[in-house]
């Protein structure tokens, strides 16, 4: 697997001659950030050797290289979810490729269901920590020592300085933000009321189906990580209603502008 990652990174390097500093996973709610990037190169996933192909509605697959906030960035338009049937290794493959391309920071966004009773639909939540309840971990198997240790530390999976920076940027731009813990379940089912209750009891503020594998692999490889989530529905007793993928996309689109401002300004100051 390491050889494949290396070969893919070498292919991209040769094609683009680009040296990214920051990697961005354009999850739900960050699609609009693409418009802010001064694009130098776009590589469709199907043109990149060894890359998985994305299947889920609302996600198209491209790796985008360019300038944002004065920094060289590489952005993944379209991510890979465990529920699509990819292995954990496939889900994190692009993260490891971006590491070999030279990134030092990873920024990730997602949509999630709020289980904190103080949250409202449309809130943004800075992820301060996560709970991995996926049926796996991308680091299971022979350790890739080229990236990091067998037993990586996770005491600060989400970089505290980046959390502080995000809060500063949000305040300056009069954007209110929540902070909290993101718990990952496999999906693709949304949660039952009992499952939402379980998520809350376990100590989380939101639940979603992504991000955690990418952050585990990124942290293993020594990257500083930042994550932000849009609360698109509530798993709070008395407030639970039917939820569809379309609802999630709709709420995320409304919050997109605020999320874009925060990420763009953070990148400028990193």
* Token output for 192: 């039952």
Residue 214 is a binding residue for ligand HPA (CB under 6 A): no
112: nearest Cα among 213, 233, 211, 12: 233
Instruction: Give the count of residues interacting with ligand HPA (CB under 6 A).
Output: 14
Q: Shortest approach of ligand HPA to residue 225 CB, angstroms?
A: 19
* Window 21-80: residues binding ligand HPA (CB under 6 A): none
The rounded distance, in Å, linking the Cα atoms of 168 and 150 is 35
Q: Shortest approach of ligand HPA to residue 190 CB, angstroms?
A: 5
Span near ligand HPA by CB under 6 A; candidates 8-16, 121-129, 169-177, 184-192: 184-192
47: Cβ–Cβ under 8 A, 6 or more apart, which residues? Answer: none
- Which residue's Cβ has the minimum distance to ligand HPA? 113
CB-nearer residue toward ligand HPA: 89 or 110: 110
CB-nearer residue toward ligand HPA: 243 or 253: 243
CB-nearer residue toward ligand HPA: 147 or 190: 190
* Token output for 15: 């094609």
Does residue 166 have a cis bond before it (omega within 30 degrees)?
Answer: no
The rounded distance, in Å, linking the Cα atoms of 235 and 199 is 9
| 90 membership: H or E segment, kind and range | helix 88-101
Residue 233 is a binding residue for ligand HPA (CB under 6 A): yes
CB-nearer residue toward ligand HPA: 173 or 192: 192
CB-nearer residue toward ligand HPA: 8 or 112: 112
Q: Cα–Cα–Cα angle for 178, 180, 183, nearest 5°?
A: 135
Residue 232 is a binding residue for ligand HPA (CB under 6 A): yes
Residue 127 is a binding residue for ligand HPA (CB under 6 A): no
SS3 61: coil
* Window 90-119: residues binding ligand HPA (CB under 6 A): 111-113
Strand partners, 73: 22, 66
Residue 248 is a binding residue for ligand HPA (CB under 6 A): yes
* Chain position carrying tokens 């009992």: 194
SS3 75: strand
CB-nearer residue toward ligand HPA: 125 or 221: 125
Residue 190 is a binding residue for ligand HPA (CB under 6 A): yes
Among 207, 223, 240, 267, binds ligand HPA (CB under 6 A): 207
| 4 membership: H or E segment, kind and range | helix 2-16
Q: Answer for the pair 12, 97: CB distance below 8 angstroms, yes or no.
A: yes
Span near ligand HPA by CB under 6 A; candidates 141-149, 217-225, 228-236, 262-270: 228-236
CB atoms within 10 A of CB 143: 14
Q: Name the site residues for ligand HPA (rule: CB under 6 A).
A: 111-113, 187, 190-191, 207-209, 232-233, 235, 243, 248
């Amino acid at each position: 697997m390491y050889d494949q990652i290396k070969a893919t990174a070498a292919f991209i390097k040769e094609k683009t001659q680009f040296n990214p500093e920051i990697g961005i996973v354009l999850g739900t709610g960050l699609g609009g950030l693409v418009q802010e990037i001064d694009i130098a190169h776009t590589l469709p996933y199907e043109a990149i050797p060894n890359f998985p192909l994305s299947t889920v509605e609302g996600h198209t697959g491209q790796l985008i290289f360019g300038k944002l906030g004065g920094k060289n960035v590489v952005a993944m338009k379209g991510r890979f979810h465990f529920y699509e049937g990819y292995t954990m290794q496939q889900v994190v493959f692009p993260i490891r490729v971006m590491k070999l391309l030279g990134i030092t920071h990873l920024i990730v966004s997602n949509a999630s269901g709020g289980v904190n009773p103080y949250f409202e639909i449309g809130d943004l939540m800075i992820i301060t920590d996560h709970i991995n309840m996926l049926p796996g971990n991308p680091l299971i198997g022979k350790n890739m020592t080229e990236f990091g240790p067998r037993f990586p530390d996770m005491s600060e999976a989400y970089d505290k300085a980046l959390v502080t920076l995000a809060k500063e940027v949000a305040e300056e731009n009069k954007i209110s933000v929540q902070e909290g813990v993101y718990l990952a379940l496999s999906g693709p089912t949304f949660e039952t009321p009992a499952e939402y209750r379980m998520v809350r009891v376990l100590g989380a503020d939101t639940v979603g189906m992504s991000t955690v594998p990418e952050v585990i692999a990124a942290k293993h490889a020594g990257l500083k990580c930042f994550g932000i989530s849009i609360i698109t529905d509530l798993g709070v007793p008395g407030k639970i209603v039917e939820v569809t993928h379309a609802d999630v996309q709709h709420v995320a689109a409304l919050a997109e502008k605020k999320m874009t401002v925060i990420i763009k300004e953070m990148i400028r100051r990193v």
